[in-house]
Amino acid sequence: MPNLFGTLPTRARQRAVLHDQARSQAMKNLNDIYKRVERYDNTHIHPQSYASLDIKCGTFLLDRDGKSLDAKENCSLPFFEPRGASWIPNLNITDARMRETFQVFNDNWDAVLTSGLMRERPKTQAYSVCSWLEHMFSYFTRESSHPNVASLSKWRHSGKLIPEIFAERFYLAAFPYNRYSTYAVYASKKQLSSTKTTAPHTLITIAIGEEPSEDLFKAEAMIIAAAMISRLEGDECKAYSVIPITLVTAMGGMQARVIQAHSSGQSLVLSKTKVFDFATNQMATANIDILLGLMGSDQVGDPADPDHILKVEVQQVVTQQGSDHKRFQSIRKFFRPARETSAASWESRKCSTPRPQIPQPWRL
């Protein structure tokens, strides 16, 4: 009997084709989302506008330690798994200059909102929170075999923001120097076993010179989409179709929150925590380790899987009553070539439709 499948591509080649399709589709979708968000005429994005912008935004639920609650309740796939405040090692600042810097932060923190010069500058207040977070994450040493939390959680400072994280065409979107600006960017050092390459996970901190709000800022969506597009277009993330991003947003009033983001299908999926208060030294001390646990989240998931982007909706009749049911099926499975079915497998199936009788003249 002739081989009916000899001309079909191999499984590896099929996966490569799907991977390229997923990357192209992801870049197209994100570019479309970015353009729509850029045209949005408001500082905040109203929840009623999410659908028209292809944004899915939900609340990221945390327990008291800062760890994720049931994933089913969160609007996110697990590309980041928060480690919690209890995971953060105690401070052990050995460098004299760093000890002096820590003391300056500690002594002057409460004055940021009360001094006349700082009180009217919400962006400067946001910068103060960003600077404090960066020192606690990257510079102040800990009681650990790793020098700081960033190293412990496999992050490195991005030496070249342009073009490693942001393409040149997004420079003004990431660094407008007016009401908001990107403060610091970290790239992953973790090697993923699925691709044998460095993970595409990205950590970004930004300062927004606006009063604190639970609503999504337009700037947050623009920076996330710009970073995803840029990394997909770059050379370092060619093995991936999804760029997971953790965005830390500092706002006026010494407030901050964290957004975990990824793309799925045609949508930009965002999960944002509540707004944490850093207005006083006491509040900052109470909340800092929760944010550090979110920034140091374990980088998980499979961002190379094309199923995150390529999904089709198919109709299938599954019940004897003849009712139609919709289900989502990955495009990889949907286009998987049919296999030859043996006579034994036909007999083993309990199917209401009898096996068709195919004439076989060569057996006569």
* Type of residue at 34: Y
**226 Cβ contact partners less than 8 Å away, ≥ 6 residues apart:** 34, 166, 167, 170, 173, 174
Asked if the bond preceding 163 is cis, omega within 30° of 0, the reply is yes
Give yes or no for a contact between 186 and 199, defined as CB atoms under 8 angstroms apart: no
3-state secondary structure of 248: strand
Q: In this structure, is residue 248 part of a structural domain?
A: yes
Token digits of residue 321: 């009553």
Q: In this structure, is residue 351 part of a structural domain?
A: no
Give yes or no for a contact between 269 and 75, defined as CB atoms under 8 angstroms apart: yes
Q: In this structure, is residue 166 part of a structural domain?
A: yes
Distances (CA, A) of 172 to 33, 39, 98, 177: 17, 15, 33, 8
- The reported pLDDT for the residue numbered 11 is 80
Q: In this structure, is residue 355 part of a structural domain?
A: no
Distances (CA, A) of 46 to 32, 238, 265, 276, 300: 19, 34, 22, 21, 30
Burial 303-315 (b: 16+ CB within 10 A, else e): bbbbbbbbbeeee
d(CA 199, CA 125): 33
Token digits of residue 77: 């796939």
Q: In this structure, is residue 350 part of a structural domain?
A: no
Domain with 56 in it: 11-308
Q: In this structure, is residue 344 part of a structural domain?
A: no
Token digits of residue 70: 């049931």
- The reported pLDDT for the residue numbered 28 is 96
Could you tell me which of 362, 264, 279 has the C-alpha nearest to residue 113? 279
DSSP, residue by residue, 58-112: EE--B-TTS-B--GGGSSS-SSEE---GGGSPPB----HHHHHHHHHHHHHGGGT
Q: In this structure, is residue 285 part of a structural domain?
A: yes
d(CA 152, CA 309): 31
pLDDT per residue, tens digit, the chain (364 aa), is 455 444 446 787 888 889 899 999 999 999 999 999 999 999 999 999 999 999 999 999 999 999 988 655 555 557 999 999 999 999 999 999 999 999 999 998 988 877 765 667 888 899 999 999 999 999 999 999 999 999 999 999 987 888 889 999 999 888 876 789 999 999 999 998 877 899 999 999 999 999 999 999 999 999 999 999 999 999 899 999 999 999 999 999 999 999 999 998 899 999 999 999 999 999 999 999 999 999 999 999 999 988 888 864 333 323 333 334 444 444 444 344 433 333 444 344 444 444 444 444 333 3
Q: In this structure, is residue 112 part of a structural domain?
A: yes
| Cα radius of gyration (the chain) | 25
- The reported pLDDT for the residue numbered 77 is 56
Q: What is the pTM of this model?
A: 0.82
d(CA 222, CA 247): 11
d(CA 124, CA 254): 9
Residue 180, phi then psi, degrees to nearest 5:
-155, 165
Give yes or no for a contact between 203 and 141, defined as CB atoms under 8 angstroms apart: no
If one counts the domains in the chain, the total is 1
d(CA 184, CA 117): 25
